[in-house]
Amino acid sequence: MTRDNSYAAVTSRKNEIMKKAIGIDYSVFESGEIGFDYERMMREAGYTLEEIQTIQSEVSVGNTPIIELKNLTALARKMAPKGKGARIFIKDEACNPSGSFKARRAANAVYHAKKNGYKGVIAATSGNYGTAVASQAAMHGLKCIVVQECYDSKMIGQPEILEKQRACEALGAEVVQLTVGPELFYTFLLLLEETGYFNASLYTPFGIAGVETLGYELAMQFREKEGKDPDVVMITNAGGGNVTGTARGLIKAGAEHVKVVGASVDLSGLHMASDHAFNRKSFTTGHTGFGLPFATWPDRADVPRNAARPLRYLDRYVLVRQGEVFYMTEALAVLEGLERGPAGNTSLTAAFSLAQEMDEDQIIVVQETEYTGAGKHPMPQLSFAKQNGIDVRFGNPTEEIPGENIILPEHPSLIKIRDYDLNKAKHSYIRNSVANNKITEISKVDVEFLVKDTKSDEQFVMNALKELGINLK
């Protein structure tokens, strides 16, 4: 009997496909209509910190250096009020085998796949994670398929994504390139079903736990280097795994008092799944098109329960502009002699601004960098933007309109973070939880889950539910 491979049929089989491709029975962690036992899932479906450190060390992942950016700190102090201007550091994750922190996630995922007898791994990503999975699969002798969403309907691809295609293929992976839209998830499911390969999802417990070593290492390195923890850890936020894993690692190191600040490029008004908007943005990750949807509804991911839950850990969430990040990318190279890619430079841009609010004796650390390459440099990105009708000029970045222009700051004093209201995001998350689970009244268990998942209190959650007309059972 021929299997029905229509879009509707394949997507209807997604739970069955995912269970076989991940090997986790998520149902055992369910505790309510909305909630589930998150910590139990992380504990029982993942690995301990010590196990992860061993897994990563055997493939040369982790133990990346801390670098103080003395020249950028000096520049920030010129812009800051007297006595302000925190010391700026980076954790140089570009030193990992695949050139980004995502090697930590991939090391765990591919190790888990091999341990459980899978012959290959599949990752759906247009970013650095594909390169990381390809790198780890090569080390472990597994087949690798990377599914990329990289073209608009005219088959025009972004330079940054095409660079990552080159990197994946260089590492031995098969790359399946698709146009923007619903075919990505359909093709991903179909390949998982046909090959029987492991779903090396970004959002599994072992994937997120892989990033915990980053937060843990960071705390330990600062204690050895500076005799104290940093005051702020600045993290580029996209799907939420970077924030979640790093924050959990800090907690495991006993650094609960460290402020966790997320940063994203402001692409307000651009719909990421829109064919028209796809090539009118110059950042493929670390932007609000991922950061806000995944924060306000984490379980939109390719697993039943997403282990990346950034609202549990964020103390502050700030936005920067495209032009500001391009400027800071060049400043890092010219002033510090470090050529690094765009994702880490998003949080570096935010750190440069935030440092000016902090005292000189304080420390702010950007917890990751990434490699750069031909398509990821500012010049090809800006040239591509111009080809797509984007006005690129120097001026005041506050005038930047995503999809219409990119404004490079004419002076570094114009680089400013803008706060995104976390309470607004938490309200949106509660609203999505109620709507997507068709809740008409709520249990105490689910209220307790929402309190933890929003890093709030019972009064906050009950007020939000009251506005939605939802009462306790």
Question: Residue 353: its pLDDT value, please?
Answer: 98
Give the residue-averaged pLDDT of 269-287: 84
| Burial bucket for residue 52 (CB in 10 Å: 0-12, 13-18, 19+) | buried
Sign of CA dihedral 164, 246, 45, 302: negative
* The CATH number of the domain covering residues in 59-97+208-419: 3.40.50.1100
pLDDT in tens, 23-33: 998 999 999 89
Amino acid present at 176:
V
Q: Can you tell me whether residue 291 is helix, strand or coil?
A: helix
| Burial bucket for residue 228 (CB in 10 Å: 0-12, 13-18, 19+) | exposed
Q: Are 198 and 120 in contact (CB under 8 A)?
A: yes
- What does the alpha-carbon distance between residue 453 and residue 36 come to, in Å, rounded to a whole number? 10
Q: What share of the chain is helix, strand, coil (3-state, %, to 5)?
A: 50, 15, 35
Q: What is the DSSP letter of 433?
A: H
Q: Are 260 and 247 in contact (CB under 8 A)?
A: yes
pLDDT higher than threshold 90 for residue 36: yes
pLDDT higher than threshold 60 for residue 207: yes
Question: Residue 285: its pLDDT value, please?
Answer: 86
pLDDT in tens, 371-407: 998 888 899 999 999 999 999 999 999 999 999 999 9
pLDDT higher than threshold 60 for residue 35: yes
| Burial bucket for residue 102 (CB in 10 Å: 0-12, 13-18, 19+) | buried
Question: Residue 265: its pLDDT value, please?
Answer: 97
pTM of the model: 0.96
Give the residue-averaged pLDDT of 336-358: 96
Question: Residue 274: its pLDDT value, please?
Answer: 80
104-121: burial string, b at 16+ Cβ within 10 Å, e else: bbbbbbbbbbbeeebebb
What's the token pair of residue 357? 């609010």
Question: Residue 42: its pLDDT value, please?
Answer: 95
Question: Residue 275: its pLDDT value, please?
Answer: 83
Assign 1 a pLDDT band (cuts: 50, 70, 90).
low
Q: CA nearest 293: which of 310, 305, 281?
A: 310
Assign 149 a pLDDT band (cuts: 50, 70, 90).
confident
Q: What is the C-alpha end-to-end distance of the chain, expressed in Å?
A: 48
Q: Are 278 and 294 in contact (CB under 8 A)?
A: no
- What does the alpha-carbon distance between residue 218 and residue 173 come to, in Å, rounded to a whole number? 31
Give the DSSP letter string of 360-373: TT-EEEE-------
Q: Are 101 and 242 in contact (CB under 8 A)?
A: yes
Give the residue-averaged pLDDT of 417-428: 98
Assign 82 a pLDDT band (cuts: 50, 70, 90).
very high
Q: Are 288 and 237 in contact (CB under 8 A)?
A: no
Residue with tokens 């990434």: 370
Kindly state the percentage of the chain with pLDDT values over 90.
Answer: 81
Question: Residue 93: its pLDDT value, please?
Answer: 98
∠ CA 284-194-293 to the nearest 5 degrees? 30
Assign 48 a pLDDT band (cuts: 50, 70, 90).
very high
What's the token pair of residue 46? 């993942």
Reduce the secondary structure of the chain to three states and give it as a string. CCCCCCHHHHHHCHHHHHHHHHCCCHHHHECCCCCECHHHHHHHCCCCHHHHHHHHHCCCCCCCCEEECHHHHHHHHHHCCCCECCEEEEECHHHCCCCCCHHHHHHHHHHHHHHCCCCEEEEECCCHHHHHHHHHHHHHCCEEEEEEEEECCCCCECHHHHHHHHHHHHCCCEEEEEECCCHHHHHHHHHHHHHCCEECCCCCHHHHHHHHHHHHHHHHHHHHHCCCCCCEEEEECCCCHHHHHHHHHHHHCCCCCCEEEEEEECCCCCCCCCHHHHCCCCCCCCEHHHHHHHHHCHHHCCCCCCCCCHHHCCCEEEEECHHHHHHHHHHHHHHHCCCCCHHHHHHHHHHHHHHCCCECCCEEEECCCCCCCCCCCHHHHHHHHHHCCCEEEEECHHHCCCCCEEEEECCHHHCCCEECCHHHHHHHHHHHHHHHCCCCEECHHHHHHHHHHCCCCHHHHHHHHHHCCCEEC
Extended strands (E) in 92-142: 120-124
Q: What is the DSSP letter of 438?
A: T
CB atoms closer than 10 angstroms to residue 262: 30
Q: Are 289 and 270 in contact (CB under 8 A)?
A: yes
